[in-house]
Amino acid sequence: MSALPSVSIIIPAYNEEDTIRPCVLAALAQTVPALEIIVVDNRSTDRTAEIVRQLQAVNPDAPLRYLPQFDEQGLVPTRNLGLDAALGDVLGRIDADSVLEPTWVEEVQKAFADESVAAATGPVLYYDMPLRRFGLKADDTLRRAMLKLAQEYHFVFGSNMALRATAWQAIRDDVCRDEDDRFHEDIDISVHLADAGLKAVYVSSMVTGMSARRLEDSPRDYVDYVGRFDRTYDHHGVRSRRLRAPAWVFLAIYPILKGVRWGHHEITSRRAQPVSD
């Protein structure tokens, strides 16, 4: 039996002083340790770098690396630098507000024990929403439905993805730079994986927590964000309506999720108010 693949975790970060500490601590607190955890700092002007340095000092034996990416602003070049620098057999890519479940690395290793798997992705648990575990089941169900509807291939989601290092090398020179920041970089990766004939799978047990802060966007900004699906597919000449289904789903559920989040904030703020005599 061959050894399970090693896993690197790459975290692109820009002004994430409010979220980078729990993100890194969760990456460190895995049932199976990652080979390395790489925070790639993209011109942060807040305390992001300072917090990572503090975590390195407090955890001197931890495989925590800090890499500055100050050459250009943008998620794609920041992500690329981290993926290029990583040493693992499998390259995990999460957001700076992601909080990995303790078994994430273990589940990634299990998924990539199948040598035909080039990429994997999983569901998310919104840690700042009510009924989180119920929400996880709902998110898993929704993503399964979207993948079944799309049929052609599986998406990889940026907040919770892993790529085999050889798969990244196969597509790295083809992925879009997106200088104008108009695309979904994870959908772009998905398209290039499919074009290269590389297999992506969905793994329900590969769970990460993430913030629902996107719901704080105005309706106009949220619609523009969802519109990245169409812009990415249009750029690649992908016409399939099935592949565009996730955009419709995200637009349809926005009012529901927005209402739940608003209600949660109202309840939380009332509980926090001092009781008058």
State yes or no: pLDDT of 27 exceeds 80.
Answer: yes
Report yes or no on 245 lying in a domain: no
Report yes or no on 128 lying in a domain: yes
Report yes or no on 246 lying in a domain: no
> What pLDDT, on a 0 to 100 scale, did the predictor assign at position 262?
45
> What distance in Å separates the CA atoms of residue 49 and residue 62, rounded to the nearest whole number?
17
Smallest Cα–Cα separation from 176: which of 43, 79, 264, 60? 79
Report yes or no on 272 lying in a domain: no
Q: How confident is the model at residue 204 (pLDDT cuts 50, 70, 90)?
A: very high
Q: Which domain holds residue 81?
A: 7-214
Report yes or no on 255 lying in a domain: no
Q: What is the CATH number of the domain that holds 20?
A: 3.90.550.10
What are the start-end ranges of the E strands in 3-127? 7-13, 36-41, 64-68, 90-94, 99-100, 117-121, 124-126
User: DSSP label at 188?
Assistant: H
Q: How confident is the model at residue 249 (pLDDT cuts 50, 70, 90)?
A: low
> What distance in Å separates the CA atoms of residue 41 and residue 27, rounded to the nearest whole number?
17
Q: Which two tokens stand for residue 51?
A: 């917090």
Report yes or no on 254 lying in a domain: no
* Sign (positive or negative) of CA dihedral 68, 69, 74, 76: negative
Q: What is the pLDDT of residues 164-181, one digit of tens each?
A: 999 999 999 999 999 888
Number of domains in the chain: 1
Contact predicate 11/27, CB 8 Å: yes
Q: How confident is the model at residue 2 (pLDDT cuts 50, 70, 90)?
A: low
Report yes or no on 253 lying in a domain: no
> What distance in Å separates the CA atoms of residue 268 and residue 212, rounded to the nearest whole number?
15
> What distance in Å separates the CA atoms of residue 40 and residue 75, rounded to the nearest whole number?
10
Share of the chain above pLDDT 90, in %: 62
Among 48-52, 91-95, 192-196, 250-254, whose mean pLDDT is lowest?
250-254
Q: How confident is the model at residue 239 (pLDDT cuts 50, 70, 90)?
A: confident
Report yes or no on 124 lying in a domain: yes
Q: How confident is the model at residue 269 (pLDDT cuts 50, 70, 90)?
A: low
For the residues 248-255, what does the mean pLDDT come to? Answer: 57
> What pLDDT, on a 0 to 100 scale, did the predictor assign at position 216?
65
Strand 90-94 to 7-13 pairing: parallel
> What pLDDT, on a 0 to 100 scale, did the predictor assign at position 186?
93
pTM of the model: 0.86
